[in-house]
Structure 1
Amino acid sequence: MDAISRKHVPLICILLFFGFSLLTAEKEIPVTKFGQNVGGPTMTFLYCYSCGYRKAFEDYVNILSEKYPQIKVTGANYNPPGMNMYFSKMIFAIKILLIVVIVSSYDIFGALGQQTPSWWRHLVDNKLYACMMIFFVGNMLEGQLVSSGAFEITLNDVPVWSKLQTGRIPAPQELFQIIDNQLQFGDKIQENPDFVK
């Protein structure tokens, strides 16, 4: 019994590490909007970080801060739809687990009482090649899952542009026209004189 326990210590350590890393994953707490930016317009950009749209967002921030200094511009990553983010995290965890098992030369099949397949021996014998292939293929799959192609723009929580619907990012002049129309519409709203302040 003691020999079996010693034999399974690396596997138990790997599983504990794997479980702990999943439990301590970041949990996002949404920011409440109450009391933020009272009185001023806010433009929010949600963009696909893996598509390289962060640079476009930064360019728009610079352009908008010059032309519309009264507008607060914020940006964030557009979360992929459905279960894609969870599948991406699962692929990441499996990728790391496989790399750790290969580097440690742990015989999973022997621990399970099975004969070790030749492909597994090949992976363990060629650690560097196997780990690099697992890493790059895993990254490719993760990137494919989280890539949304989004560049969504809202002004005061009202959608004003969607790359997912139009298929393109707006030209600066188009965005200026949209903002001018939205702000002009906002200026036409009259305050209620009977409203208690």
Structure 2
Amino acid sequence: MQVAQALRQHFGPDLQVELANHPPPPLQAALAQALFVVQLAALAVVGAGQQAAPYLERLGIVLPADYWRALQEKKMGALLGIWFIGNTIRTNLISTGAFEISYEGVPVWSKLETHSMPTLQHVVNGISQVMRAAAGGADAAAGDAQ
């Protein structure tokens, strides 16, 4: 939002700034969704404790009594660990690292291509170039019409 404010100061308050997330690759998005389901199931199993044992046995998963006892002694730590580790992995799966800027549909900066973040001056220069090119094209079109 700081960039948007700085650009409005430079180009005027009418400059429209739209923020959007760059979509992750479909496979990574699907993996993140699958991980979320596994994460919720793990939270349910830990929360239910040994009462979940018969349901897990139907799936062919048999856990020793010592495991259940240790899990119940450290239930809060296990729940927090599943939540935070799962969320960290999911966030990394859907994070694209994109920071793309375009003006009137014309790309001005792409972090995916340059592998770096732009300075405010890069953005201002890029938008100014697009504005000049558009004005030059409009001037040429007006000259052709005469």
Mapping of residues 12-51 of structure 1, within 5 Å: none
The CA distance in 2 between the partners of 1:76 and 1:186, in whole Å, is 24
CA distance 1:114–1:94, shift in 2 (3 Å):
closer
The CA distance in 2 between the partners of 1:114 and 1:60, in whole Å, is 54
Structure with greater helix percent: 2
| Residue ranges of structure 2 left out of the alignment (5+ in a row) | none
Percent of aligned pairs sharing the same letter: 24
Q: Which amino acid aligns with 1:96?
A: L
- TM-score of the superposed pair, with normalisation by structure 1: 0.61
Q: Contact between 2:101 and 2:109, CA under 8 Å: does it hold in 1?
A: yes
CA distance 1:81–1:128, shift in 2 (3 Å):
same
Identify the residue that residue 76 of structure 1 maps to in structure 2. 20
Specify which of 40, 44, 48 is matched with residue 96 of structure 1. Answer: 40
Q: Which amino acid aligns with 2:76?
A: L
Asked whether 1:183 is paired with 2:131, we answer: yes
- How far residue 123 of structure 1 moved from its aligned partner, in angstroms, is 3.1
- How far residue 179 of structure 1 moved from its aligned partner, in angstroms, is 1.1
Q: Which amino acid aligns with 1:173?
A: Q
Mapping of residues 36-185 of structure 1, within 5 Å: 58-69=1-12, 70-105=14-49, 106-107=52-53, 108-110=55-57, 112=58, 116-118=62-64, 120-121=67-68, 122-124=70-72, 126-185=74-133
| Residue ranges of structure 1 left out of the alignment (5+ in a row) | 1-57
Q: Which amino acid aligns with 2:26?
A: G
- TM-score of the superposed pair, with normalisation by structure 2: 0.80
CA distance 1:115–1:185, shift in 2 (3 Å):
closer
CA distance 1:126–1:66, shift in 2 (3 Å):
same
CA distance 1:181–1:144, shift in 2 (3 Å):
same
- SS of 1:75's partner is coil
The CA distance in 2 between the partners of 1:154 and 1:169, in whole Å, is 14
- SS of 2:96's partner is coil
The CA distance in 2 between the partners of 1:74 and 1:102, in whole Å, is 42
- How far residue 176 of structure 1 moved from its aligned partner, in angstroms, is 1.2
Q: Contact between 2:99 and 2:112, CA under 8 Å: does it hold in 1?
A: yes
The CA distance in 2 between the partners of 1:173 and 1:84, in whole Å, is 34
CA distance 1:103–1:155, shift in 2 (3 Å):
same
- How far residue 65 of structure 1 moved from its aligned partner, in angstroms, is 1.0
